[in-house]
Amino acid sequence: QVQLVESGGGLVQAGGSLRLSCAASGSIFEINRMAWYRQAPGKQRELVAAVTSSGSTNYADSVKGRFTISRDNAKNTVYLQMNSLKPEDTAVYYCNLDIATMRMYHTNYWGKGTLVTVSS
Taking 90 as the threshold, does the pLDDT of residue 115 lie above it? Answer: yes
Q: Is 103 exposed, middle or buried (0-12, 13-18, 19+ CB in 10 A)?
A: exposed
The predicted model gives 13-42 an average pLDDT of: 96
Taking 90 as the threshold, does the pLDDT of residue 103 lie above it? Answer: no
Q: How far, CA to CA in Å, does 89 sit from each of 4, 48, 82?
A: 22, 10, 9
Report the DSSP beta bridge partners of residue 58.
Answer: 50
Please give the residue that has the higher pLDDT: either 13 or 105.
13
Taking 90 as the threshold, does the pLDDT of residue 102 lie above it? Answer: no
pLDDT at position 1 is 84
